[in-house]
Structures are given as C-alpha cells and as structure tokens.
Amino acid sequence: MRFILGRSGQCPRIALAVCAALLLAALAMAGCAASDEERLPQTGEDAPAATALDASGPAGAPGAAQSAFARSAQSLREVSRVIIREGWMDVEVEDVLAALAEARAIAERMGGRVDGSSLSGGGGYEDSYTYATLRLRVPSAAFDRTIEELRELGEVLSEQSQSTDVTEEYVDLEARLRNLRAVEERLLGFLERAEKVEELLSVQRELASTQGEIERVTGRMNYLSALADESSLTLNLTQEPEEPPVTGEGWAPGETAQDALRALVSVARFLGDAAIVAAVFSPLILLAAGAVWIGRRAIRRRRQRASEETSA
C-alpha cells in the first residue's frame, strides 16, 4: 500500500476502497481469532495446561505463534469474573416504619442506597402502615453482610437470591472494542491522507459508523460493570397482625336486669300493638262472625226440614 501511495503521491479512489476492504477483512479475522482465544477455559487449572501444551510442541514451531498463545493464556488468567447478583426478602416485623428506617440505615452503612420505597395498608393514617417495599442497591462485596443484617429486622418469611455470570459477554465486548479501536485508528490515518472529496466523505462515513459502534459497546460494558459492582435487593416488610386482648368473662347482674327489662318492654309493646289492631278491626270481625253464625243457623234449619220430610 505504501508503494502505491509513494508512486503517485495520492491514492486513487478504487485503490483506496480495495485497501480499506482488505484491511477491514484482516481486522475482522483477527478479531474472530482473538475472541476464540479468549473463550478458552478461564480457570486457574486450565491455563497452566495450555501453557504446558505450548511448551511441549514441536521444536521447529514458529516462535511468534507460541508467544501469542502464551500472551492469550496470561490474559485469560488475569480476567476477573463479572457476576450480577440479585436478592429478594420477605420479613415480618413488629413496626413497619421502624423497620423501614433501620433498613435504610443498613444500606447506607454498607455503602449503598435506597433506589425506591413504597408504603401501604395505612388506612389513611401515617403511623399505621402495615406493608412496605424497598429497592436497595449495595456493593456486591457487602451483599451477603447486608442480607445477614436484614434478617435481624424480624421473622424471615422467604428469601431468594441468584447470580448471573456475564463474564463471557464482557470478554467478547472487550475484544470487539479492541478491534473497533484499531479500525478507528486506521480510518483516522486514511482521513489525514485523503485528498479527494469523495474519498474524504467515504472515510468519514465509515469513521462515524465505527465510532457509533464503539459508543454502543462501551455503553454496554459500563452497564454490565455497574450491575456487577452494585447488587440489587428487594425487601418486603409486613407488620405482624395484632391479636385482640384476652379478658376474663365476669358476672354482670346489672346488665342481665337491663336485658330482662328490655325484653319485658318488648313483650308489652307487642301485646299493646295487638290490642290496638284488634280494636280497630273489631267491627269487621263482629260482622264477619255474625254472618257466619246466621249462615250456619240457616243451614241447620234446612237440614232439619229435610230430615222431617224424609221421616214423614
């Protein structure tokens, strides 16, 4: 490529495009190789085995390949695990507000913070809440100690935790970022040597695309690092139900007399109401009774006449 630039003083557009394509292809292949090497086992037991395999290779193997393999094994040994930890706890406490304040103090003492909280079950009264939820963020190194102290708030009803290992994704992002940085550096060199407007615009477009990809990869790496550095913990606080006071049953003659008097008054009212109703409807009752008596008397006389005629 230097030979072409040196002879004409400037790189033709077609030649520049071909060079850029070859460069990108070479970098992509190098990135794939680096990613494959970084996905080798990362434990302390596997890395020495890889070094031993390199040392026991043929005597005539290229020294550059052995050196690259040794550097890859060393970098794998230096990789620290990137683990995201989360937890959930349900605790029954005597006083929700007091436990809420204590949980905040525990999070701050561990170097963390409270991302959010909510209270409910108060019936509109500020000092009578029966349920609370807190979302805590604490350093991952203090995650276990935080859980131990939160257990002292009351009776633990349930507890869950999980760990997500994102080391492989983080290592892939690091390899991708290195390749993108290399492409960016080469494109900046092309940008300095470009003289034609078409070449300048083409390189700028590629450079902008590469830099945008660098920002996305960097943002993802920062996000994973933040999640791994600080663990999240959701704490649910429930107040113990209040039991009604137990009192002995005693004899209350006054209340018994009052109940009997109320019953007597109720019976008297019922009888009085019945007498009033009977007095109001007495004319109708008398008329109905008289009609029944007259009817029965007429029927009886008719039967007597019929029996006399039959006997005669």
Token pair for 241: 């139900």
Burial class of residue 260, CB neighbours in 10 A (0-12, 13-18, 19+)? exposed
Higher pLDDT, 247 or 83: 83
> Is the model's pLDDT at 37 over the cut of 70?
no
pLDDT given for residue 281 in this prediction: 85
Distance CA 159, CA 120 (A): 21
User: Which pLDDT does position 279 carry in this prediction?
Assistant: 85
CB burial string 148-185: b at 16+ within 10 A, e below = ebbeebbeeeeeeeeeeebeeebbbbbbbbebbeebbe
pLDDT of residue 47: 36
96: pLDDT strictly greater than 50? yes
Name which of 102, 136, 101 is nearest 116 in CA terms.
136
What is the rounded CA–CA span in Å between residue 126 and residue 271?
A: 54
- Decide which of 57 and 198 is more confident: 198
Does position 73 have pLDDT exceeding 60, yes or no?
no
State residue 256's pLDDT score. Answer: 84
Assess whether pLDDT exceeds 70 at residue 127.
no
Identify the three-state secondary structure at position 57.
Answer: coil
Nearest to 76 by CA among 146, 211, 175: 175
Task: Give the pLDDT confidence of 253-290 residue by residue, as tens digits.
Answer: 888 888 888 888 888 888 888 889 888 888 888 888 88
218 vs 180: CA distance, rounded Å? 11
* Nearest partner of 148 among 106, 117, 111, judged by Cα: 106
Q: What is the DSSP letter of 126?
A: T
What CA–CA distance (Å, rounded) separates 280 from 36?
Answer: 109
Structure confidence at residue 77 as a pLDDT band (50, 70, 90): low
The pLDDT of residue 277: 86
Please state, in angstroms and as integers, the Cα–Cα distance from residue 214 to each residue in 153, 172, 175, 206, following that order.
Answer: 46, 13, 12, 12
Residue 90, classed as helix, strand or coil, is strand
CA of residue 194 relative to chain centroid, distance: 53
Q: What average pLDDT does the segment 178-192 reach?
A: 92
